Structures are given as structure tokens and as C-alpha cells.
Chains A and B, each alone.
Chain A
Amino acid sequence: MSTVTVNDGNIVNRAGRGKKIAVYGALILFSLMYVFPFFIQIATSFKTDADATTNPLNLIPQPVTMAALKRLADTDYPLWFQNSVTVTILVTIGRVFFCSLAGYALARLKFRGRDGVFTALLAVMAVPGIVLLIPKFLVLNYIGLYDTYPALFVPLLVDAAGVFIMKQFFETISPSMEEAARIDGAGTFRTFWSIVLPMARPALITLTILSFQGSWNELGHFVIAVSDPNLYTLTRGVGQLTSGGLGSGNQFPISMASALIMTIPTALIFIIFQRYFTQGANAGADKG
């Protein structure tokens, strides 16, 4: 801008300023829309029921109270939290391991039937998840897994989209290291485990995050897999809280607190691995 003539510079500057004001104005508006609900949620978690009902917009609780959190601790909430953590860890480990194994085989290993397996994978990915609720229940019921702990995580251990992401990734890395390892006499699994996987770190982190997010936020599968309240995860338990007794009264602080606590792990992971979240979203886009 400094090199243009004074006259032109003025025009550019004026247009630029107008644009900047418009952009910042829109930004502030949208930021409020996106951040304010979370602020209200946090504030309400520390309010009394009466305060939450009469002052829904106040961001400062009067008085500040831990009552909602304490009452939440007396419900099954801690158990649900524990179940969610266990299931999420198992699913994430399973998905990262199995999806990279299969993705590697589909990308690199030459075996009869590979194309057929890949075609089947693509077909599976085209099945919308929501129509699988009844089918999954039927099979869990049939093999006697319904309403057991394994029902919560075993069906989620492999994710077709995850295999696809890993396959795509393995195809982008050069095979020279593997060939060297092979010539040195390393077996297929050894090559995969100690040569290929370390190179796949970014894809593995992306897959870890997608798996965490997928299983922590999953609702449908947990609804159809179990009915025993002791096997509820957070989404199932909390979803029941509102449709059950809590929704009828004005007990908003406890409902906000239950939502808040289940959001904290997501927020932490999101902040730490933000960069990879972005990649994950776009990796998901590729499959479409």
C-alpha cells in the first residue's frame, strides 16, 4: 500500500477501513453467538435453581453455590463418567490399532482379494450409521452380548472411515524404508510396528482424536446396546436425566453442570490437539 500514489492510497484505505469494520462487526456478533451459550452454561452450573430461572442471562451467580455439583455427585453420574472413560479408552486403542493394521494391509500388502476387501469397505462406509441401530441390537441380542459391558465397546472397535483414512495416509509415505527393513529381514508385522507406525504419527493422532470424539459423544449405540443403568455412559445417562425427572422441574443448574462436566475432557483434548482436529475434519471430508 505504501507504493501506491496518495490518491489511490486513500481509496484503498477507505475501502479497507469499511471492510475491516464490517468484518470485525460480524466477528463480534458471531463470537457472541458462539461463546455466550457456553458462558451461560458455566455460570448456571454454579447458580441456585431460583437464580437460574429468574436471571437466565446473568453471568455471575448470586449466590455462587456448589449445590448442583454436589447433587450430581450423589446421582449415578460418577459411574457414567467412569463407564464413558473406560469405553472411550478401549474403543480408541482398538480403533487406532485395528484401523492402522487394516489400512496398512490395504495400502501396501499385496494379497489376493485385497480389491474385494476394499470395495466391501467402501460399501460399508456408505451405510448411514443411524439405520444400524436395530440391526446392531438384533445381533447383540442374538449372540447374548446385549446388556453386557462388552456390548458397549466391542462393536465400536473398528471404524470403516478410520481404515480408509489410514489407507490414504499410508499411500502417501514412501515405501523405501519398508523395503530396506524387509531386505534386512524384518517380518511384515515388525516392519509395520517399528518402521511404518512411527512414521504415521500425524495420522495416528488424527485417528486417536476422531476415535475419542466419536466414542465419547456416541449416543445411538449406547441406547440400543444396554438397558442396565449400571452400564450407562454419560451420553445415555445424561440424555435420560432430562427426559426423566429433571426436565419437568426447573432444575437447570444440575442439568447445566452435567453437560459442563462431560464437555471438559473434550475441551481439554481439543485445546491440546487443535491442529489435528482441523485435519480430522478434513480427513472426514475426503471420504464423502
Chain B
Amino acid sequence: MTQSQGETLETTPLHALHKALGARMVPFAGYEMPVQYPAGILKEHEQCRARAALFDVSHMGQAVLRGPNVEAALETLVPGDIEGLGVDRMRYTQFTNEAGGILDDLMVTRRADRLFLVVNAARKAHDFAHLERHLAPRGCTLEILAARALLALQGPAAAAAIARIVPGAERLEFMAGADLRAGDVPVYVSRSGYTGEDGFEISVAAESADAFARRLLSEAEVAPAGLGARDSLRLEAGLCLYGHDIDETTSPIEAGLAWSIARRRREQGGFPGAARIRRELAEGAARRRVGLRPEGRVPAREGTEITDESGKPVGTVTSGGFGATAGGPVAMGYVAPEAAKPGTRVNFLVRGEARPGAVVKMPFVPHRYAKG
């Protein structure tokens, strides 16, 4: 919660709204962002699971990639199947490096004549330079959408609330998007999110974002939620956070993201690190990302050492905290293959004391995405 002297933080188009709502602002990825509002992280988390929560994720990087055969061009940098995407369909993938590690994870939407990308805030400068360097020679142009806000409306009541403001959004299928209107304001809406709940992500021009967010918040089902709840919600949903659960050393296979690599890409390769990723798909990875459930109430946080019951180190926690919906501490981390089976008993070394728990299946809270 501290920042180095002299660092200037950027703000999002909703900065004044956060202040007006009484948010506690913290530095995050170079931005001053709301970690929580007066309701607090637990209530904001529960709000999202029970009704609908509005998150400002404008710090994330939005960009459009154009060019001849742009889908094939992007496939040279990611293992996801981009050519196989239908128009206005989106997919989760990763930028991989030559060693098969992950440079960032991202969402790719295929529009009629271009790709729409959403990348992590802390990695956007790197990602955009990476795209320029590798794809400009292939005739692609990258347009960074710096003047757009991104909002996420998440929760079981999100569809009912957004239908009153952006008619038609409620008819979108999961992982599909459309250009729609909120009154006079054009918005791009997709049915997607980072909480495990049904919900929407809305890209809107910066100058319209404040009024649009206030309109959403005026709906009875909707309340604001900050980065704290966003983190505990995604953890319960078993979703990776870049820089914690995945990084340049972890492969998509170690991270349990093989589902995001289609058969054609596995067979043909043609993306950075394909050799390692294909080898791990065939032979298994040296470690696996797993769900972890400490017994009792003491959270096992990031960096906590994991041992087997005999005390032998088997891995490390990469994300851990309190799952408000799960009703206790939840965590994820990497363990050796022999300790990766759900049900395996492990110990967490918290403040020097071995505390028992187990490897469990993720998600901790079932996903409730819109059924297609």
C-alpha cells in the first residue's frame, strides 16, 4: 500500500466517481485505483455473488489490431485458436515466450475486420511493444484505445440491470460481444468477466464513462466493488492473476490452461515456446497449478511454502486469501505432479507453523456463466 517517492499515478475516467463514492484508493499497476468502497471487501464480494457489482477496470489495456490476415499474424504470438473464432466471439489466450513461459494473458475478440484485445494493466506497455515489434513487419497496425474506459458489471442480476440501460446486451451469449447503445452513447459490450459469475464487460468512450457508470449504479441491483473484491472473486473462481499465478517462468500447461489451446494449435505449433508446451502436453509438466484448501481459518497467502505430510517441500502458494463465498481460506499454487491429485494432504508453513490442508479441485465456487 505504499508507493515510491515521486511516482506519478495515472487515473481512470471514473476517478471522480470513486472519490464521490468514498473509495479507498491505492496504487495499482501505475494507476490510483479503488481497492474498496465503504461497504468493504467482504460485502462487495457478496454483492457480486448475490446481485450485481460494478468494477472499474479502465486501467487494463484495450487495443485494436488490424492487418492482412490479422488472425494468423496474432497466432504467431499466442497458442490460442484465433482463426477459428467467429465474428464478435472472444477467447482467452496468452502471449508466450520462446521458453514457453507466459508474457501476459489476454482476451481476444474477432471483429469483422480487426481484432480487439484486452490485456493486463501492469503488462500493457510491454504487450503493445511486443505486438508492434513482431506484427508491424507483417503489415499489422496496432491502435491503442487509451481514451476508452472499461467497466465490468458482474453477478446474477447483471443481465436484468444492463437490459434497462443497454437494450440487447442481455441477449448476448457467453464470450460474445456486440456494438450496442446506452441511449445516445455507443458502447461495446461482451458477456464475459473475471468473477465466475454471469456478467458483462463494457468498453465506453472516456468522456461518457462517468455518466454511464452512474446510470448503472442507479439500478437497484447494482453496487460498486473494488479491486479487493475482484481479487477474492477471481480466486474463488480459480482464475489466474498475472504476475502471481502465471509469469514468464510458468507454462500454460503447468498453469492448467491447456484447455485454452485448441487441437489445431497443439498439432501445428507455430507460436513461441511451442516445443516446451507440446512436450508438456505429451509427457506432463514438472509442476501443476492446483487449488488448495487450508483447514481452519488461517489463510495461506502468496509465497507460503507447501510440504507433504512428511514435511518435504512440494510447492508454493501463488495466490491465497479468504473466500467469502467458500466460507474459509482458499488458495492456489504450484505443486510437484505427485502432490497434484485432488485430495492430497499437504501442510502450509504459515509463520513457521505447519498447518494442514488439502489439494482440491477448482473452482472453489461453481462458475455461473450464461448458458449458451
Q: Do A and B bind each other?
A: no
**Which residues does A use to contact B, with CB under 8 Å?**
none
List B residues at the A interface (Cβ < 8 Å): none
